[in-house]
């Protein structure tokens, strides 16, 4: 009888374990970014002060990221002397075209050195992500889209052909859900804030960067999405958008 009880108890424990695993599988189903942007031409990679990919962090950290790198080459006329790159954040909204979303600039423009990988460099006096979340709270699945716009002398700002990335904001943290995998040192960039000598623009921020050294405690590991050109973090994936292949 005791042996039977022990066997029944073991079976019950195994059943609980299998049920837990089943729940984990359900909770880890891929999350697809629910919108498309016909003007997206590539993906952005976020970088920390150690020039390693940055996949998550605090919405109060300033600047939001240290560097952002595009995998969409600069079109003709946008890699000339005086060409610049500027990152903007946008609020996706259901039943609203991507071109009509509200947004805000996340830092000063940067001069970049690589035509293959336009990039923007941030400084300690640039804004945290709360500049965006307070002005335009994320509405659609807690998502925010980041875009890198290019500009050049004698040319209009290029707002219809850009690289982008998508992040999800939960509470006081953000997590990359769709982005690129460019090298953070594929080129160089310098912010206008540094060149004009704005106080506090030189140097690096003193805060730690929880996302720069890899996922934090309890976070899901990074994984490559099956979508060409996209990177998914944890259980999040994004479908390839036009121009990203």
Q: Which domain holds residue 167?
A: 31-237
pLDDT recorded at residue 219: 33
User: Residue 55 domain-assigned?
Assistant: yes
- 154-181 per-position pLDDT tens digit: 999 999 999 999 999 999 999 999 999 9
pLDDT recorded at residue 70: 98
Global pTM value: 0.76
Q: What is the mean pLDDT of residues 27-36?
A: 69
User: Residue 36 domain-assigned?
Assistant: yes
Burial class of residue 198 in the structure, from the number of CB atoms within 10 Å of its CB (0-12 exposed, 13-18 middle, 19+ buried): middle
Rg of the chain over Cα atoms, rounded to whole angstroms, equals: 21
User: Residue 20 domain-assigned?
Assistant: no
The closest alpha carbon to 53, from 62, 44, 42, 63, belongs to: 44
226: tokens are: 């099956």
At residue 206, does pLDDT exceed 80? Answer: no
At residue 14, does pLDDT exceed 70? Answer: no
pLDDT recorded at residue 32: 85
User: Residue 14 domain-assigned?
Assistant: no
How is residue 142 annotated by DSSP? T
| Dist. CA 205–CA 210, nearest whole Å | 13
Collapsing DSSP to helix, strand or coil, 11 comes out as helix
E strand map for 52-109: 56-58, 67-70, 84-91, 102-105
What is the count of structural domains for the chain? Answer: 1
Partners of 75 in beta bridges: none
């Amino acid at each position: 009888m005791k042996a039977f009880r022990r066997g029944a108890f073991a079976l019950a424990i195994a059943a609980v374990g299998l049920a837990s695993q089943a729940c984990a599988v359900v909770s880890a189903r891929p999350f697809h970014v629910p919108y498309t942007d016909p003007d997206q031409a590539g993906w952005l990679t976020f970088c920390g002060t150690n020039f390693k990919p940055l996949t998550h962090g605090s919405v109060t950290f300033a600047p939001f990221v240290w560097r952002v790198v595009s995998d969409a080459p600069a079109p003709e006329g946008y890699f000339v002397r005086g060409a610049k790159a500027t990152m903007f954040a946008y609020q996706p909204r259901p039943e609203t075209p991507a071109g009509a979303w509200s947004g805000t600039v996340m830092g000063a423009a940067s001069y970049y050195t690589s035509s293959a990988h336009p990039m923007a460099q941030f400084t300690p006096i640039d804004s945290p992500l709360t500049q965006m979340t307070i002005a335009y709270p994320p509405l659609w699945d807690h998502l925010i889209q980041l875009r890198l716009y290019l500009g050049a002398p004698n040319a209009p700002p290029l707002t219809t052909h850009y690289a982008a990335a998508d992040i999800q904001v939960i509470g006081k943290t953000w997590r990359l859900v769709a982005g690129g995998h460019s090298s953070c040192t594929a080129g160089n960039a310098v912010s206008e804030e540094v060149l004009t000598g704005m106080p506090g623009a030189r140097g690096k921020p003193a805060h730690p960067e929880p996302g720069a050294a890899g996922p934090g405690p309890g976070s899901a590991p990074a994984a490559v999405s099956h979508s060409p050109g996209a990177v998914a973090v944890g259980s999040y994936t994004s479908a390839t958008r036009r121009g990203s292949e």
